[in-house]
């Protein structure tokens, strides 16, 4: 089971890096530049700052997961907590995608069904990999 | 008018439950018997004080109970992971679960299980139907938090902190379930199966 989880984590790490890089495309497709021009500059800067922050976090956790998946499976308390945090983080992302965002209204190809299905599969896959890591650390498959 | 009356009744029930439970602590021995007495008093009081659309709350039994059972499995997985984390990070806090499981080992009779069944039904009527529903109607998700806080506070006089935390978290989940589904069957089925799993089918400790 640990081998499967190891590979799952590597794929999830690669997926997170790809998602972080694809944020640039989403910005362009959703025409954020035009929308930012309409809101107060401070709010625009705050939004851009938070967006950059989350993107960097995705990239760096992706890098950690891609390069050191074994560190997330070494049954230490830190590995357990990091896996729990990332499982909760990506589960929340799946919930947002399902119940909060209205992607059907999105312009361009990001609103198309195949793009939404790909994004959703990516989020679910990443969340599952971390849940698997969390269960391994809790000794579920021992 | 009815909403305002229901909110006042819900707040009064939540406020009175704590002194009542403290009072029962000195009068009734045994956790499950004490809770059963509490709900024998509180349930009829709630049914009289809060006016609700019972037809809506009791609609579509098979579908809503099925959904509740499925949600109970999800909540059990959540509890398994959460308790695993607590056990690893705060082992002394997790050890309080032995006190709770000890109560059941000490008794284990059919009467105890019947009392637990009665208590669960009482908890759903008092805390989810009579307290949470009027509060969420007025304050939305803050009502869920208030209902969960009241339910957890009711465990204060006799429960270990781990049980109070569990009452807050899972009480909040059942409050959220009844708010979103507007079905007593859904939250009741979820609560019954979850308790059966945690206490009997697959205990956490």
Location of structure tokens 């589960």: A91
Q: Which residues of B touch A135 (CB under 8 A)?
A: 81
Band of the pLDDT at A83, cuts 50, 70, 90?
Answer: very high
User: Which residues, at least 6 apart from B38, have a Cβ–Cβ distance to it below 8 Å?
Assistant: B17, B20, B21, B24, B122, B154
- Our CA-based measurement puts residue A41 at a distance from the nearest CA of chain B, in whole angstroms, of 32
Domain boundaries, position B106: 2-201
A135 touches chain B (CB under 8 A): yes
- To the nearest whole Å, the CA of A5 is away from the closest chain B CA by 17
Average pLDDT score over chain B: 92
A134 has a chain B CB within 8 A of its CB: yes
B52 and B128 Cβ atoms separated by less than 8 Å? no
C-beta of residue A39 within 8 angstroms of C-beta of residue A92? no
The pLDDT score that the predictor gives to residue B1 is 63
Structure tokens at A93: 């992302």
In this structure, of A16-20, A28-32, A128-132, the range with the lowest mean pLDDT score is A28-32
Whether A142 shows a pLDDT value over 70: the answer reads: no
Residue ranges of domains in chain A: 2-137
Residue of A nearest to B89 (CA): A77
The DSSP H or E segment spanning A120 is helix A113-137
pLDDT of residue A25: 82
Q: Does position A61 have pLDDT exceeding 90, yes or no?
A: yes
A104 in Cβ contact with A111 (< 8 Å): yes
Which of residues 59 through 98 in chain B touch A, CB cutoff 8 A?
80-81, 84-85, 88-89
Check CB contact under 8 Å for B81 and A135.
yes
List chain A residues with CB under 8 Å of B84.
138-139
Nearest CA-CA distance, residue B36 and chain A, Å: 36
Tell me how close the Cα of B205 comes to any Cα of chain A, in angstroms. Answer: 13
- Mean per-residue pLDDT for A23-46? 87
Mutate to test the interface with A, among B85, B90, B94, B169 (most CBs of A within 10 A): B85
Q: Which of B35, B51, B79, B52 is nearest to B190 (CA)?
A: B79
Position B12 confidence tier, pLDDT thresholds 50, 70, 90? very high
pLDDT digits (tens, 9 = 90+) for B99-128: 888 888 887 788 899 999 999 999 999 999
For residue A98, count other CB atoms closer than 10 A to its CB.
11
pLDDT of residue B30: 86
Confidence bin at A32 (pLDDT 50/70/90): confident
Helix, strand, or coil (residue B156): coil
Q: Do A80 and B88 touch (CB under 8 A)?
A: yes
> Which pLDDT belongs to residue B102?
86
B81 contacts A138? CB cut-off 8 A: yes
Q: Does the pLDDT at position A29 exceed 90?
A: no
Question: Between helices B161-181 and B61-89, what is the axis angle to 10°?
Answer: 150
Confidence of residue B187 (pLDDT cuts 50, 70, 90): very high
For B41-80, the pLDDT digits (tens) are: 999 999 999 988 889 999 999 999 999 999 999 999 999 9
Q: Which of A35, A28, A22 is nearest to A108 (CA)?
A: A28
Q: Measured between alpha carbons, how far is A142 from A135 in angstroms, rounded to an integer?
A: 10
Say if B40 is an interface residue toward chain A (CB within 8 Å).
no
Contacts of A83 in chain B (CB under 8 A): none
Contact between B81 and A84 using a beta-carbon 8 Å cutoff: yes
Number of domains within chain B: 1
Instruction: Read off the pTM.
Output: 0.85
CB contact under 8 Å between A134 and B81, yes or no, is: yes
């Amino acid at each position: 089971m640990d081998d499967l989880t190891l590979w799952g984590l590597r794929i999830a790490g690669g997926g997170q890096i790809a998602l972080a890089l694809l944020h640039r495309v989403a910005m362009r497709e959703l025409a954020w530049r035009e929308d930012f021009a309409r809101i107060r500059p401070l709010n625009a800067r705050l939004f851009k700052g938070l967006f950059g922050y989350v993107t960097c976090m995705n990239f760096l956790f992706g890098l950690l997961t891609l390069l050191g998946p074994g560190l997330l499976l070494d049954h230490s308390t830190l590995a357990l907590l990091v896996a729990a945090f990332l499982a909760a983080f990506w589960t929340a992302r799946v919930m947002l995608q399902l119940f909060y965002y209205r992607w059907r209204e999105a312009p361009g190809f990001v609103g198309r069904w195949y793009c939404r299905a790909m994004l959703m599969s990516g989020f679910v896959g990443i969340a599952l990999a971390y849940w698997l890591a969390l269960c391994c650390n809790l000794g579920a498959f021992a | 008018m009815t909403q305002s009356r229901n909110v006042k009744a819900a707040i009064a029930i939540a406020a009175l439950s704590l002194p009542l439970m403290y009072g029962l602590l000195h009068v009734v021995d045994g956790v499950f018997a004490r809770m059963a007495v509490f709900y024998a008093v509180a349930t009829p009081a709630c049914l009289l004080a809060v006016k609700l659309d019972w037809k809506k709350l009791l609609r579509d039994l098979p579908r809503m109970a099925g959904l509740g059972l499925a949600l109970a499995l999800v909540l059990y997985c959540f509890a398994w992971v959460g308790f695993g984390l607590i056990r690893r990070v705060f082992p002394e806090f997790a050890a309080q679960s032995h006190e709770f499981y000890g109560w059941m080992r000490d008794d284990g009779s059919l009467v105890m299980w019947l009392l637990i069944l009665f208590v669960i039904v009482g908890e759903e009527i008092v805390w989810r139907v009579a307290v949470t529903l009027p509060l969420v109607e007025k304050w939305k998700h803050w009502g869920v938090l208030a209902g969960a806080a009241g339910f957890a506070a009711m465990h204060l006089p006799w429960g270990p902190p781990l049980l109070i935390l569990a009452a807050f978290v899972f009480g909040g989940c059942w409050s959220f379930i009844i708010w979103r589904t507007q079905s007593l069957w859904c939250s009741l089925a979820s609560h019954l199966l979850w308790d059966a799993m945690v206490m009997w089918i697959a205990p956490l400790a």
